Structure 1
Amino acid sequence: MELDIIILIIAEKPDMGRKIGEALGGFRKDKGYLRSDKYIITWAFGHLVGLANPEAYDPRYKTWNLTDLPIVPHSFKMIASESSKKQLGLIKELAKECTSIVNCTDAAREGEAIFRYIYEYLNLRQPFKRLWISSLTKEAIREGFSKLKDGKDYDNLYKAARCRGEADWLIGMNGTRAFSTKFGGHNNVISIGRVQTPVLAMIYDRHQQITNFKSETFFTVKATLQQESISYTGTLQTNERMIDRNLAQKISESIKGRVGRITHYDAKNNEDKPPLLYDLGLLQSEANKKLNFTAKKTLEIAQQLYEQFEAISYPRTTSNYVAEDNLSIMHDIFDQFKTTKYAMFATGDKAYVNSTNKNICRPEKIEDHHAIFPTDKIPNDLTADQEKIYLLIVKRFLAHFHPPAKYKTHKIITTVDAHIFQTNIRENISPGWKTIYNEEKELLEKDKSIEDTDLRTNFAFNPEELAFCMDSEVKKNLTTPPSHYTEGTLIDGMKRAGRSIQNENLKDEMSDIQLGTPATRTDIIENLKSKEYIIVDAKKLKPTAKGSSLIEAVRKMDLHVLASPEMTALWEQRLGLISKGQASSTAFSELVVKFTQKIVQKVKEDSALENTTKEEFINTLGKCPECKEESIVADKSYYRCRNSCQIRINKIQLGKELTLKNLLDLLSVGKTAAINFKSSKGKGNYKAKLILEGSENGRLKIEFVKTKK
């Protein structure tokens, strides 16, 4: 009698498992899994298994000591958290019933790691296939199951994932322990990360550029010129910025009423193509700029639209293009939008979305997943924030069904008494795809040197005719510093990190290399916040004292590469080659070990930081009322002055933890606003203000607030 062949499907999350069940059909629910006559579907909850901490190799590593470093395991151990063991046990038992497995985790490097770690940890032996799809619609899942890949085809992808994880472990564990034992302490961990530290350095360097920037005043001369009925403005051209106001004023006065001549005129027809389809980074950048959404919030919403609503394709993509086999699907989706509330945007023509349009169809630019675009599942019950992200994606998608925006640029050089004035005018011909964005003026912003005109016909200058200077004025200008990074512009910067590499031998080769991946950039930013390396001030990302001290220390120890994109960019490139079978994972691991050893050795031996104190790595929270310096810091259970002042303010007051605002109020005005406290007997609440009674020691007194009955 033949045994029934049962196939185990392992999804990354329960929701993914349920969607696969709905697509394949015929399943009945059980606790932690679904079963049909042919399949059993179960799932992970993200990473069930990870690399073990150092104490798993030797109990003495539980205590952090610089002398124990570097810690370099001969082979890495895997460990499951207590919360994961029940589900892992279920997967192991279900696997005993099955002859083969289908890996249905996310079709990306981290998804591959999630499945392979489980597979190795449980010592599974069944052969496995790979589901690789970019959409969670029933049709896409069914098609994916009809074209399952051999699991071995993704062995190199797993090698790259494993190398990435082990590299992060080696640098993170050793670097963090080395810096923390030397500069931190029990309550002040100095975290080091392969990608995290270079990203912090980007924020630090930009902040330093702004802090050290010295604004300079310069002057420009603007002439109001006229030829026949056309009036236009020209800007005086000089070899250098004009810093002499008197000279500028003299030129301005001298040309008023004078006759000039157009000495150069050039008109060119141009077009703006629709903006590229979104990858995750571009979506996060635009949502941060337009909607003030954090990168984390945008990713969370995109995942909801993908997993919960099946309304968009796979969001964690690095590509802005699609393949030829996506085009017919996109045409069908375009037709669907014509009968929805988005119909006002679906007014274009399918003919524009074709295989010869390199603004949208470039298969060679796709690695794992095509660009983000809507699916045929058009949702109706989105929250306000979900709708905002969905609308960004829909408009970007539908823009490609419209022609390019056409315009003409006019460059005019007018000479007045040997002074040269330049004018650039943009004559809008047809809006094309921009009709979708008419209400979004920021998308249509143009170069500030372009003077717009609504004239559309017979608009041309005649070099044979004279031009008259009707008026002129001197404009005072100030040079401006670069802008602080926002989360949006930081993600852009991480995507373009290779362009900032200083090594001339690597610059061209590495120009496309990025810091982090779509799956990790959000976490990197959130980690920098949670570790108190950066703060967000009105969208601007700024380094804290702790973050600044870390970058300065790294550079003083001649570990510049740890705080530059160069090393990480090189490693990301190598990981990409490993995933394609074009580089050795062993050689990569040896490189990482050598660099880890260098970090530890520098921290142990470097004398450049002998005068650096641990206090420099503690963020200050406010001004001390005694010494009047910005020197209040947090210890485990109280706030104190890091100078010699005796002030101590307990973090817990009357059973409630002080907020940062409470602390700042105490330090600045000597009292808090009314705070809600619970009665010590557990019956009812009461309001009270805390008053700093003794600034020399931090003693507080209570002022009860009467509540209106």
Structure 2
Amino acid sequence: MKQLIIAEKPSVARDLSKVLNANQKNKNYFEGPNVIVTWALGHLLGLKMPEDLNKEWQSWQMETLPMIPKNIGIKPLPKTRGQLKSIQQLAKRKDISEAVIATDAGREGELVARWILEYVRFDKPVKRLWISSQTTKAIKDGFKNIRPAKEYDNLYYSALARAKADWLVGLNVTRALTVKYEDSLSAGRVQTPTLAMVRQQEKKIEQFRPQNYFVISLDVAGQKAKLNQKNPYGITDREAAEKLVKEMSQQKGTVTDITEKEKTEPAPLPYDLTEIQREANARYQFSAKKTLSLVQSLYETHKIVTYPRTDSKYLTNDMKATMKERLQAVVDFAPEVKTYIKHGAQVKQKRVFQDNKVTDHHALIPTEQRPRFEKLSTDEQRIYNMIVTRFLGLFAEAHKESQQKVTVAFQKETFTFRQNKVLVAGWKPAEEAKKAVQWSEGMKIVPSFTIEKALTTPPKPLNEGTLLGKMEKHSLGTPATRAEIIEKLIKSELMERTNTGLLVSPKGKQLLELVNPSLVTPELTEKWEKQLEAIADGKYSSKQFLQEIEADTKKLVSEVKHSDKKYQDFSITAKKCPECGSPLREKNTRDGKIYNCTNPECNYRRRKDPKVSNHRCPQCHRKMEIIDGKNGSYFRCKYDGTTEKMLDKKERSKKMTKHEERRLLKKINDQEEPQESPLAAALKAAMEDKK
């Protein structure tokens, strides 16, 4: 009898099959003496759509809202039906004794597998493989500790409740807004409060008014300190600053207080997914999606880091025994690694080992597998370096420094000088010591003031790193879904990614005015997310959660229905449709910006700007544009106006024979042979006459 093992992706299935000796490769699975390893392709099934459940819900009408089905049910996704059918056939084989869920060890991974098993009506025992890395050792250890799937039922209930909540809130509110305001307006349980956070920062920037102020500084032996003030922007007039400096300059200053203390700073804990996404955005301007993709590649393809979609920065106590192997894997990373190994791989940061702070997965750290740097891309190398550097900090001494604080008084006004001396560099790179001032209480200071004019600066727009931090603070989404939410907002044209940060589009600004106030603020979504976590922990009922979601959905739809707010579609242009005269709407597509007719009965559509082709102009050899004319498309050069007929598909696909190719080359070569110029011919004739 054999186990049917369901992985989430073909690459993971391939890794599992190698370890489990499933060497017989088939189109949709690997087979061995004791196992069959197959795979999903992410989700193979999804919740049924409204039109699948009720004929009345096929058309978008306000009268049919809210849509609250008794049972939503699941259906196959069209593009992956073949793989699902293959798993169905494998599940019915008589030599299959049990199934093993080996999808990603998390909420969504659980849902992927459970839906497949539900759809194929699998009625045999089911077990769960729970691993945090894809190395051979981790896979073998995982199969030794395989658990009954029932132990993960609460995780499944949480995932299912999340999917149904997004269906109920997202589809109902989106339909209500779209029908009422006659434009595609997408709202959601998590995406709308996320968009609102970006808008709140924009409002702060819009309300900001720059203000001049003056800074008074005191210079002592090359060290500078600013005047202590309750309001650092309080001096707004140069005359007032000069008057104050004049008063203070009438006598020497006095050192009135010196305090010293030792500060110990341990190295930061390893990354969770959100923190590495934030830091990669700050360092390399990587989007959250790109960072997740890179870490996923290091985990799945290269197998040199642990499971990336984690929300924990801690490790479990049983991992202490693996620390030496992980250090040996990165022995060439830095000179100090050999020292750490020599001293028994002793973790100095004891606080990292806390079982109660590890949820589904521990922190993101290197595996026991040595990296092959020649196989890593530059960006993969950057992310891997970040993960390893954080990991090595666990073995380094804490950074210690002596901090001295000195107060210098000129009558009532004071200046505070600070100088630090490194006692133990520890995990921080060693810095060159700065020249210190020898302070003593009662010491007299000769006044040496400077006045500098400055301008208050506006708050910065949120970038992906700062937005991820706010989403984490308010429990909006999970580490695995936050990047996807940001991308969805950008694709739905509610938000824009710019060089300076994230901006809300005119459409997005309007949506936030039209959508329910309770969906704009993060409190309601934060409450829902905490309830989903409680369901996963077995501390809250998914049935009760969905009853609350249904009640909230009815309230949200009712608010939209009875709203008296107005909407202006900023995508509608002043341009008229040449066929029916209706205004044209500008729309972003993968292929660039297009104009669509706003008349639902008219199908007119054209590009905003001509598409640039790879076809070269015969005159200037630059790329030509494709123009949609009345008689079909043609090429046009925008530089010299040359036009050329565009061949149809048959003509373009027709290949030139070898004979035609040789004949054409001969013709070109003949044309390129140098011809006798008129001047040369005249000189030749003159010479012949002389003879």
Q: Please say whether Structure 1 and Structure 2 have the same fold, judged by a TM-score greater than 0.5.
A: yes
Q: How does 1:231-310 map to 2 (within 5 A)?
A: 231-240=222-231, 241-256=234-249, 258-310=251-303
Measured in 1, the distance between the counterparts of 2:451 and 2:302 equals: 58
Rate the CA distance shift 1:388–1:649 in 2: closer, same or farther, 3 A: farther
Note if 1:412 corresponds to 2:406.
Answer: yes
What is residue 662 of structure 1 aligned with on the other side? none
Q: How does 1:320-339 map to 2 (within 5 A)?
A: 320-338=313-331
Q: How does 1:311-322 map to 2 (within 5 A)?
A: 311-322=304-315
SS of equivalent to 1:123: coil
Please report how far the alpha carbon of residue 223 of structure 1 lies from its aligned counterpart in structure 2 after TM superposition: 1.2
What is residue 486 of structure 1 aligned with on the other side? 463
SS of equivalent to 1:367: coil
What is residue 86 of structure 1 aligned with on the other side? 82
What is residue 703 of structure 1 aligned with on the other side? 641
Rate the CA distance shift 1:407–1:621 in 2: closer, same or farther, 3 A: farther
Rate the CA distance shift 1:387–1:231 in 2: closer, same or farther, 3 A: closer
Contact 1:651 1:658 survives alignment (8 Å)? no
Note if 1:47 corresponds to 2:43.
Answer: yes
Rate the CA distance shift 1:201–1:348 in 2: closer, same or farther, 3 A: farther
Rate the CA distance shift 1:270–1:632 in 2: closer, same or farther, 3 A: farther
Q: How does 1:332-411 map to 2 (within 5 A)?
A: 332-338=325-331, 340=332, 342-344=333-335, 346=337, 349=340, 357-377=349-369, 378-380=371-373, 381-411=375-405
What is residue 127 of structure 1 aligned with on the other side? 125
Contact 1:352 1:400 survives alignment (8 Å)? no
Q: Structure 1: give runs of 5+ residues left out of the alignment.
A: 439-451, 498-513, 625-630, 643-647, 660-672, 691-701
What is residue 465 of structure 1 aligned with on the other side? 443
Aligned residue type for 2:74: M
Measured in 2, the distance between the counterparts of 1:592 and 1:6 equals: 42
How many residues are paired up? Answer: 616
Q: How does 1:530-609 map to 2 (within 5 A)?
A: 530-554=491-515, 559-607=516-564, 609=565
| CA RMSD across the alignment | 3.1
Measured in 2, the distance between the counterparts of 1:50 and 1:353 equals: 47
What is residue 140 of structure 2 aligned with on the other side? 142
Report Cα offsets for 1:143-201 as digits up to 9, x if no partner. 0000001100011111100000000000111011011111233xxx1111100000000
The share of aligned pairs that are identical, in percent, is 32
Note if 1:677 corresponds to 2:626.
Answer: yes
Contact 2:612 2:625 survives alignment (8 Å)? no
Rate the CA distance shift 1:595–1:249 in 2: closer, same or farther, 3 A: same
Pick from 509, 512, 520 the counterpart of residue 481 of structure 2.
520
What is residue 476 of structure 1 aligned with on the other side? 453
Measured in 1, the distance between the counterparts of 2:359 and 2:212 equals: 49
Aligned residue type for 1:30: N
Please report how far the alpha carbon of residue 487 of structure 1 lies from its aligned counterpart in structure 2 after TM superposition: 0.9
Contact 2:349 2:394 survives alignment (8 Å)? no
Measured in 2, the distance between the counterparts of 1:413 and 1:91 equals: 75
What is residue 6 of structure 1 aligned with on the other side? 2
Aligned residue type for 2:58: K
Aligned residue type for 2:224: T
What is residue 176 of structure 2 aligned with on the other side? 178
Please report how far the alpha carbon of residue 267 of structure 1 lies from its aligned counterpart in structure 2 after TM superposition: 1.2
SS of equivalent to 1:99: strand
Q: Structure 2: give runs of 5+ residues left out of the alignment.
A: 577-582, 614-621, 645-671, 673-691
Measured in 2, the distance between the counterparts of 1:249 and 1:70 equals: 68
Please report how far the alpha carbon of residue 492 of structure 1 lies from its aligned counterpart in structure 2 after TM superposition: 1.2
Measured in 2, the distance between the counterparts of 1:292 and 1:90 equals: 42
Measured in 2, the distance between the counterparts of 1:675 and 1:522 equals: 37
SS of equivalent to 1:349: helix
Please report how far the alpha carbon of residue 27 of structure 1 lies from its aligned counterpart in structure 2 after TM superposition: 2.9
Aligned residue type for 2:567: T
Rate the CA distance shift 1:620–1:251 in 2: closer, same or farther, 3 A: farther
Rate the CA distance shift 1:455–1:638 in 2: closer, same or farther, 3 A: closer
Question: What's the TM-score once normalised by structure 1's chain length?
Answer: 0.81
Contact 1:651 1:657 survives alignment (8 Å)? no
Measured in 1, the distance between the counterparts of 2:253 and 2:276 equals: 49
Measured in 2, the distance between the counterparts of 1:598 and 1:658 equals: 49
Contact 2:261 2:404 survives alignment (8 Å)? yes
Contact 1:345 1:395 survives alignment (8 Å)? no
Please report how far the alpha carbon of residue 254 of structure 1 lies from its aligned counterpart in structure 2 after TM superposition: 3.0
Rate the CA distance shift 1:179–1:587 in 2: closer, same or farther, 3 A: same
Q: Choose 1 or 2 for highest CA Rg.
A: 2
Measured in 2, the distance between the counterparts of 1:468 and 1:148 equals: 75
Question: What's the TM-score once normalised by structure 2's chain length?
Answer: 0.83
Pick from 61, 71, 81 the counterpart of residue 75 of structure 1.
71
